[in-house]
């Protein structure tokens, strides 16, 4: 079982690092909204100018017949100024706007008032408001820059195995902005690497509090509990992750079931492990590691023919895996067993 546990955690660690890399990748966002007059009627052909603050980014578009505008492929880490211009109306603008990765986010609506469409006609109060918003936008941009740089440094430290320095960088981020769930999850990962399970649990719990619908956080917390020998809590976390993925993503379902199987294997509950492994293969028939452990458990039950098929499938799917040599050795041994009539 020690050998089984060692190879399984290699697989789980690889999956987690892939999740980190995906979390670190930059995505594009959207800016959108609707422009109406004071009577609530949509305004068509309003010129909408989107400018990146302290950058050369600038986009221009017009509203449709419903008064709506929509722009994709903007950087969610930058702040923008959105200006609405139409002849016969006061110019309206919003400063320090952030894009959203969600199609329902990044919304900035305007109500335009009849009047002149020139900045020269702005009142003193309007100018003071604009200056204040610009200052706030600049402060936000500086904060975002510090967060972004600290995160990049932390990820580099992880790549280099310098987990103490990575933890310090992630702590700096959450001190500045404590509502970033991915950063708390990253902090949990490095605490676990540093053999600080209590701190890892606290960090993952915070990530779950901020983003309770993220199945990966439950799975990762399950790994920590499993390392701590808390099999019951580990299985609970794996099951919560499974509940969130449901049947929407068969690969995620298979991954959660496999984690549950691992936990049962490590606790000597072979029957429950077999059940979870069968569910893993039902969701993902190409799950190489599930085939390997099903084969091993079948050998313990002297079900040689079935074990042979699963071990052969494992080698077919993952000929260079860490368990390939063991699978090959088991196959050779099986082939030497005399067949019964």
- Distance between CA 294 and CA 310 in Å, rounded? 7
pLDDT in tens, 42-88: 999 999 999 888 777 788 999 999 999 999 878 877 888 899 998 88
**For residues 190 and 170, is the Cβ–Cβ distance under 8 A?**
yes
Q: What's residue 112's pLDDT?
A: 92
Tokens found for residue 265: 């294997």
Burial of 6 (0-12, 13-18, 19+ CB in 10 A): exposed
Q: What's residue 248's pLDDT?
A: 57
- Distance between CA 47 and CA 60 in Å, rounded? 7
First-residue to last-residue Cα distance in the chain: 33
Higher pLDDT, 227 or 123: 227
pLDDT in tens, 137-181: 666 666 677 777 888 888 888 888 999 999 998 898 888 888 889
Of 52-56, 187-191, 202-206, 310-314, least confident by mean pLDDT is 52-56
- Tell me the pTM: 0.48
Would you place residue 316 in the very low, low, confident or very high pLDDT band (cuts 50, 70, 90)? very high
Phi/psi at 332 (5° precision): -60, -40
**For residues 31 and 50, is the Cβ–Cβ distance under 8 A?**
yes
Alpha helices, DSSP H only, in 105-213?
A: 124-159, 163-176, 181-193, 197-210
Burial of 187 (0-12, 13-18, 19+ CB in 10 A): buried
Domains in the chain (CATH in brackets) are 29-122 (2.60.40.1120), 127-212 (1.25.40.10)
Q: What's residue 12's pLDDT?
A: 37
Q: Read off the pLDDT of each residue in 209-233 and give the average, rounded to a whole number.
A: 88
Average pLDDT value over all residues in the chain: 81
């Amino acid at each position: 079982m020690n050998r089984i546990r060692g190879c399984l955690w290699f697989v789980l660690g690889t999956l987690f690092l892939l999740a980190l890399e995906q979390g670190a990748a930059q995505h594009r966002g959207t800016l959108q909204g609707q422009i109406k007059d004071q009577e609530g009627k949509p305004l068509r052909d309003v010129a909408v100018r989107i400018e990146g603050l302290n950058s050369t980014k600038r986009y221009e578009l017009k509203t449709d017949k419903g008064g709506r505008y929509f722009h994709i492929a903007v950087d969610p880490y930058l702040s923008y100024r959105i200006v609405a211009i139409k002849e016969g109306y006061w110019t309206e603008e919003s400063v320090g706007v952030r894009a959203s990765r969600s199609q329902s986010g990044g919304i900035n609506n305007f109500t335009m008032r009849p009047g002149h469409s020139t900045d020269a006609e702005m009142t003193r109060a309007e100018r003071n408001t604009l200056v204040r918003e610009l200052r706030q936008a600049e402060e936000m941009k500086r904060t975002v820059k510090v967060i972004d740089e600290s995160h990049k440094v932390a990820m580099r430290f992880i790549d280099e195995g310098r987990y103490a320095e990575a933890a310090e960088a992630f702590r700096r981020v959450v001190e500045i902005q404590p509502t970033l769930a991915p950063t708390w999850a990253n902090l949990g990962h490095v605490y676990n690497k540093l053999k600080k399970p209590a701190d890892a649990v606290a960090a993952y719990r915070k990530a779950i509090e901020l983003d309770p619908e993220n199945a990966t956080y439950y799975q990762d917390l399950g790994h920590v509990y499993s390392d701590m020998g808390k099999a019951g809590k580990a299985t609970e976390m794996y099951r919560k992750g499974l509940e969130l993925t449901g049947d929407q993503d068969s690969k995620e379902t298979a991954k959660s079931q496999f984690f549950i199987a691992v936990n049962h294997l490590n606790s000597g509950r072979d029957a429950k492990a077999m059940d979870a492994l069968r569910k893993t293969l039902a969701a993902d028939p190409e799950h190489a590691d599930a085939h390997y452990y099903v084969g091993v458990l079948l050998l313990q039950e002297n079900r040689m023919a079935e074990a042979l098929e699963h071990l052969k499938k494992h080698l077919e799917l993952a000929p260079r895996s860490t368990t390939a040599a063991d699978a090959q050795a088991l196959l050779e041994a099986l082939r030497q067993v005399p067949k019964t009539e």
